[in-house]
Every structure is written in structure tokens, then in C-alpha cells.
Amino acid sequence: MNPAQASGWVGELAQQHLDAAYNLGRWLLGNEHDAADAVHDAYLRAERAAQTYAGGNARSWWLAIVRNCCLARLSMRKRETHLHSVDGAAAAQGLNSEVEERVNAAQCNTLLAGHLRALPAEFRETLVLREIEDLSYREIADVLGVPIGTVMSRLARGRALLQKSLGASPAQEIGHGM
Amino acid sequence: MECKNAQNMLEAYLDGELDRDAARALEAHVDACAACREALSGLDELRRALRAGGLRHIAPAALRERIALAAAAQRPPHRRAPGSTWLRYAAACLLAFGAGGVSVHMWNSAQGADSALSHDIFAGHWRALAAATPVDVVSSDRHTVKPWFAGKLAQAPLVQDFAEQGFALVGGRLDYLGAERVAVLVYRHGQHLVDVFVLPAAANLAAASEQQGYRLQPVRLGNQPAAIVSDMDAQEFSRFVTLLGNAR
């Protein structure tokens, strides 16, 4: 495949599965800005990796790259918070991002979204790929780079956790209502 | 099947990851086991909440544009430079091809619901051909087949045997079209297996179609819409269509 063909192909792939990529980014990173940046990074990385694409499910390949870019941002974010934590300005920034998180939370303000957001990332991403993006076990395994058995156990654990938190909270809500 | 095994398979079943035989075995267990039924409906409820909750974030237009710009920048510059006549001719061909692709795509999406349905029907037929047996209830007696469906579907289909006319009733099975559970009547004509999918009342399968030598033809079975799929030759096929259309 020559570079011209390769670039056209990756661009189309990215556009075709842009919502899936952005959605995964949002659920991993929590806000619009970071998710969009991560998807943009992912596109550039995919172009560079296009030559080495060895066939197989293209959507999984693309989402795996998106996920890696998200994880890279997450670990960068963690490092930054750590470095700046003694700094007063950073504390204000931290507060800002907290406000931002709350605004985002309000936009997607369902009980379920809150519980899904509260899940540990490994369960959250597996559930998002299965239930929202409708990927098969095989595809999820490819995106996450884990065996199918791991996908199944994460789904089971994630669903159980969600059911548990949903089972616990509606009762409280009703209590408040009355 | 033991309950413990069934519990472990419920999610794979819900996720459509079980093969046909395993799914059938699980369904049989769930039909008989209240605990598993409850667990399955709990999982199903969670799924519906997750899918209905507006939880999917749609990419902002700005991001779409940003990727399009980045993609344009990736393209080697000589493609945009004015080239030789030959290159321009090639570009025109590419454009024409692209436009064709777009119109085909639009045509496809207009036909979307219909072709999704026929796709499912063909897939169901081929799955049945590949399975150890194409039927769940084996019987040439319509008085056995119809009650078998009655216990499993809201409306049991009209069942008639056409053995004398060369189309012997083999039995019936349950299949899925999308998320809908439907009855399939199975007939045999010589070496050919004939499936009659009894469609939901709302289903609207307008036209006959053909895929890989298999033909699919909409027909009415009593008061229900149905579809015949088989690889019989055209003449035999239309004979069966008439027989089925006249079934009372």
C-alpha cells in the first residue's frame, strides 16, 4: 500500500468511527477537551502506524490506538497533579477542573451515568465498548489487548457493580422524594 | 444444564456470544428456572438502561473538522497540483467513482430496514443449514408443530403439510430477526431445504431478493406476513409460493 492510499484510508476510518472514538475518550478522560485532543493524537498516530497495519478488524485497531492515547493523557495528568500538588495556583486549577467535572456531570446527569463514571476504569471501558459501542468480545479483547476470558470477567464484575450501586441508590432517592 | 453452569453463561447469551446449540440449551434451562430467569431479566434491564440513557457522547463538529483538516494535510501535495491530462483524466474517473459510491450508499440506506431484515433471514437460513439439525421440533404433523409454537410465541403460525404436493413438513424452529423471536416452518423438497420465516405483523419485506444462489420471497401465510427462503429452482419455488399463499 503506498502512502497516499494509506493516508486516505486512515482518514476515512477515523471519520467513520469518530463517535466511537470520542465516546471512549469521554468515558476514559471525563471531559470534551481532553477527549477531542486524544482522538486527534490518535489520528496522527494511526497515520504513522498505517504502514504496519496487518489487516484484521480496522475499527478495533483504531479504537486500540485511541485508547492508548487516552491512557497516555491519563498518566500525564496524574504526574502533573502530583508535581503541582504543593503549589497554590495548582490547587486553584484543581478546583477549576473539579468545577468542570461537575458541569460535565450535569450535562449527563443521569443516575446511571454517575454510577458508570464511578466504576474503576477497566470495568468502565469494557462496559462502554460492549453496551454503548456494541463491540463483540473478540473486538473488545483486541482493543484492550487482553484475552477474551478477561473481557468476560470484567463485564461480569462491571455489571455486578453497576447493578449493586443502582440497587442501593434508587431507594434513597425515593426516600428523599417522600 | 445445571443452574451453576447456566448462571455463568447468562451474560454470554445476552451478548450473543453463545453458539446456537449452547443458546438453545440455556433457553431450555431458563424456561424452567425462576432464579436464572430473574437474573437474565435483571441483566437485560441494565442493558436497556445503558442503551437508552443517552450515554453515548457524539463527537463535536469541531473535532470532525479538525480530523478532516489533519487528513487533508497528510495527503501528498502532488495530488492537488495541476497535473498532466492523464492525471486529470484519472482524477475525473476517481470523482465519478466516488459519486457512484455515494449514490449507492444513499440507495442502500433507503433500503436499510428492508435489507437488514432480508440479511437476517438469509443468515438464519444458512445458520440452520450449517447446524446439526435445522429444526427444534421434528414432526411432519401440523398438530404437533403448531402447539409447540403456541407455547413460545404470541401468535402461533398457520401450519400445513404439503407432502402430497412434494413439499413435506419437516418441523419448526425458533429464530431471531434482530431482537424479534420468530417462528420458522421447515419443509423439504427433494434435496432442498425450505424455510418459511413467519414475520412480525409490522415487518415490511417489500421485494424478493437473491443472495449466493438462495432466493427470498415475501408471501402471506394466513393473516401473517412471511418469507420463503430456499435454493430450489424458480419453477418449484413459485409452485411453493402458490401452495403457501393458498394455505388456510
pLDDT score recorded for residue B142: 81
- Are the beta carbons of A135 and A167 closer than 8 angstroms? no
CA A56 to CA A38: how far, in whole Å?
23
How confident is the model at residue B179, as a pLDDT? Answer: 75
Q: Is A157 part of the contact surface with chain B (CB cutoff 8 Å)?
A: no
Cα of B64 to nearest chain A Cα, Å? 7
- Which residue carries 424455510 as its cell? B195
Residues 96-115 of chain A with CB under 8 A from chain B are 108, 110, 112-113
Structure confidence at residue A19 (pLDDT)? 95
* Mean pLDDT, residues B23-48 taken together: 92
* Rounded Cα–Cα distance for residues B102 and B171 (Å): 44
Taking the C-alpha atoms of A93, A96, A102 and A105 in order, what is their torsion angle to the nearest 10 degrees?
-70
Asked if the Cβ–Cβ distance from A110 to B57 is below 8 Å, we say no
Q: What was the pLDDT predicted at B107?
A: 44
Q: Does A149 touch chain B (CB under 8 A)?
A: no
For residue A174, what pLDDT is reported? Answer: 38
Nearest Cα neighbor of A146 from B64, B180, A155 is: A155
For residue B94, is pLDDT > 90? no
CB of A47 closer than 8 Å to CB of A157: no
Which pLDDT belongs to residue B213? 84
CB of A160 less than 8 A from some CB of B: no
Q: How far is B58 from chain A (nearest CA, A)?
A: 5
Give B155's DSSP letter: S
Cβ proximity of A141 and A150 under 8 Å: yes
Q: Which helix (H) or strand (E) holds A54?
A: none
Distance (Å, rounded) from C-alpha B31 to C-alpha A103? 46
Q: Encode chain A (178 residues) as per-residue pLDDT tens digits.
A: 444 444 488 999 999 999 999 999 999 999 999 999 999 999 999 999 888 787 788 999 999 999 999 999 999 888 877 666 544 444 445 455 555 555 554 544 578 899 999 999 999 999 999 999 999 999 999 999 999 999 999 999 999 999 999 887 544 443 333 3
Q: How far apart are CA B119 and CA B211, in angstroms?
A: 9
Nearest CA in chain A to B68: A11
Nearest to B183 by CA among B172, B171, B168, B193: B172
The Cα-based distances of B57 to A7, A31, A40, B51 in angstroms read: 26, 10, 16, 12
ipTM over 0.90: no
Q: B102 and chain A: CB distance < 8 Å anywhere?
A: no
How many Cβ pairs within 8 Å bridge chains A and B? 107
Looking at residue A132, what is its pLDDT? 94
Partner residue facing A15 (CB), from B46, B55, B67:
B67
Range from B3-17, B52-66, B110-124 carrying the lowest mean pLDDT: B110-124
Using CB atoms within 10 A of its CB, is residue B17 exposed (0-12), middle (13-18) or buried (19+)? middle
3-state secondary structure of B171: strand
Contacts of A27 in chain B (CB under 8 A): 57
Q: Identify the three-state secondary structure at position B180.
A: strand
- Contact with chain B for residue A163, Cβ under 8 A: yes
Distance (Å, whole) CA B93 – CA B83: 14
Query: Residue ranges of the domains in chain B?
Result: 3-49, 112-245
Among B54, B11, B55, B51, residue whose Cα is nearest residue B30: B11
* Mean per-residue pLDDT over chain B, rounded: 82
pLDDT of residue B206: 77
Residues 58-97 of B with CB under 8 A from A: 58-60, 62-64, 66-68, 70-71, 74-76, 79
* Residue B79: per-residue pLDDT: 47
- Beta-strand pair B209-211/B137-138: unpaired
Of A45, A59, A55, the residue nearest A16 (C-alpha): A59
Beta-bridge mates of residue B174: B183
Between B49 and B202, where is the model more confident? B49
Q: Nearest-CA neighbor of A134 among B93, B145, B179?
A: B179
B189: β partners: B192
| Confidence label for B176 from pLDDT (cuts 50, 70 and 90) | confident
| C-beta of residue A56 within 8 angstroms of C-beta of residue A19 | no
The dihedral over CA atoms of A142, A147, A151, A154, expressed in degrees to the nearest 10, equals -130
Closest C-alpha to B40, from B24, B27, B53, B55: B27
How do strand B209-211 and strand B168-177 relate by DSSP bridges?
Answer: unpaired
Claim: this prediction has a pTM higher than 0.90 = no
Core vs surface per residue A59-93: b (16+ CB within 10 A) or e: bbbbbbbbbbbbeebbeeeeeeeeeeeeeeeeeee
| A31 and chain B in contact, CB less than 8 A | no
Q: For residues A46 and A13, is the Cβ–Cβ distance under 8 A?
A: yes
Candidates A4, A108, A133; nearest CB to B79: A4
User: In chain A, what are the domains?
Assistant: 1-84 (1.10.1740.10), 110-178 (1.10.10.10)
Residue A173 and residue A163: Cα distance in Å, rounded?
16
Query: What is the structure's pLDDT at B156?
Result: 84
Q: Could you give the strand order of the β-sheet that contains B137-138, starting from the edge strand earlier in sequence?
A: B137-138, B168-177, B180-189, B192-198, B224-230, B214-221, B209-211
The CB-side HSE value for A105 (13 A sphere, CA atoms) comes to 13
- With contact defined as beta carbons under 8 Å apart, do A72 and A66 qualify? no
